[in-house]
Amino acid sequence: MAAGHSHGIEIDAFAGLDSPIHRWDGRFKIAGLLGLIVAFASVQTIRSLPFLILITVTIYALSHLPWHILRHRLAIPGLVVSALVIFLPFISGETVLFSAGPIQIRQEGLFLALLIAGRLFCIVTLAFVMFGTDTFVRTIHALRALKFPDIMADMVILTYRYLFEISAFFAQMQTAARLRGFQGNTFSMSNIGTLASLIGHLFIRSYEKSERVYKAMVLRGYGYQAVRQDLFAATRDDVLKTAVCLLIAILLIASDYLI
């Protein structure tokens, strides 16, 4: 769970734009786009890939999200997947497309690599549309409305709230240790011990804080009664957009498996 703390707020940065996707009711948007994502991840043939890409690019264009941010979001998963699929064209399949000395490029392996890369691109892009067109908090409210368990939703919100604070505190602790001569970048038993104390202290501080936060929450009525959340009101347009997405999703799977 490596955290890149600096760009934590980025996900809220484009929530204020206006587009057909931004105007889509949060609950229906998640249902529709998640339906497409499930269909994308289920596609098994290379024939379906152009459709996936066409649908994805259309939706991304509709969302008015900037293209350069997408490149940023794709960088890390793209790297991981490339490392995993790069060898497939050389070792998998019967049909040799191209050979140079001992090296052969085979069709089946190449297609599989392309399929995996294509699915990744489309799913990551749609996921960014799903989460990037609303604020983080409203996304969680929408998930709650879609029956995501209350305890888990409360935990997500609290974790998100204190993530940056705990990370800033840990950075301070590391600095303080360094100023007193701790050099964490060499291997030794005593360094591992120091690191364990640093992180142990971080856990204790976080634990103590959680006890104070719990008191503050209880004082303002946490868990006292179910809170009415009437944040969403869907229109016929919202339902229509979701219906279109789900229809495309069903057609994609049907054509991929049956034809």
Partner 1 sequence: MNALTITNLQFAYPETKVLQNINLMIEQGEHIGVIGPNGVGKTTLFHTICGILKPTGGGVELFGQPIKTGQFHPEVGLVFQYPDDQLFSPSVWDDVLFGPLNMGLDRQQAEAQTELALQETGMIQFKDRAPHHLSGGQKRMIAIAGVRAMQPKVVLYDEPSANLDIRSRRQLINFIKSSPETVLVSSHDLELILEVSQRIILIDDGQIIVDGNPADIMSDDALMEAHGLERPHSLKPHVHT
Partner 2 sequence: MHIPDGILPPLVWGGATVVTGAITAYSLHKINQEEDPRAAVPKAAMMTAAFFVASSIFFPLPPPMTSAHLILAGTMGVILGWYAFPSILIGLILQSIVFGHGGITTLGANALIMGIPALLSFALFQTTKKRIHQDRIPHIVGFLSGFLGVVVAACIFYLFIIGTLPADIDRTAEINATILLCLSHLPVAIAEGIFTAYLVNYLRQTRPALIGVQLEG
Instruction: Tell how far CA 66 is from the center of its chain.
Output: 17
Binding mask 227-256 for partner 2 (x = CB under 8 A): ------------------------------
Select from 166, 239, 246, 248 the one that contacts partner 2 (CB under 8 A). 166
Q: Which two tokens stand for residue 27?
A: 């609950």
Select from 15, 17, 19, 42 the one that contacts partner 2 (CB under 8 A). 42
Closest CA to 245 of 29, 20, 18: 29
Site for partner 1 contains 220 (CB under 8 A)? yes
Site for partner 2 contains 97 (CB under 8 A)? no
19's CB contacts (< 8 A; 6+ apart) are: 62, 63, 64, 133
List, in sequence order, every beta strand (DSSP E) within the chain. 96-100, 103-106
209's CB contacts (< 8 A; 6+ apart) are: 162
Rounded to whole angstroms, the Cα distance separating 253 from 36 reads 10
Site for partner 2 contains 3 (CB under 8 A)? yes
Site for partner 2 contains 92 (CB under 8 A)? yes
Site for partner 2 contains 14 (CB under 8 A)? no
The CB-of-217 to partner 2 minimum distance in angstroms stands at 7
- Binding partner of 236, given partner 1, partner 2, none, CB within 5-8 angstroms per partner class: none
Give, as ranges, the residues between 125 and 144 that touch partner 2 (CB under 8 A).
127-128, 131, 136, 139
Check residue 55 and give left, alpha or beta (phi > 0: left; psi -120 to 50: alpha).
alpha
Site for partner 2 contains 65 (CB under 8 A)? no
Positions that interact with partner 1 (CB under 8 A): 9, 136-137, 157-158, 160-162, 164-165, 209, 212-213, 215-222, 224-225, 227-228, 230
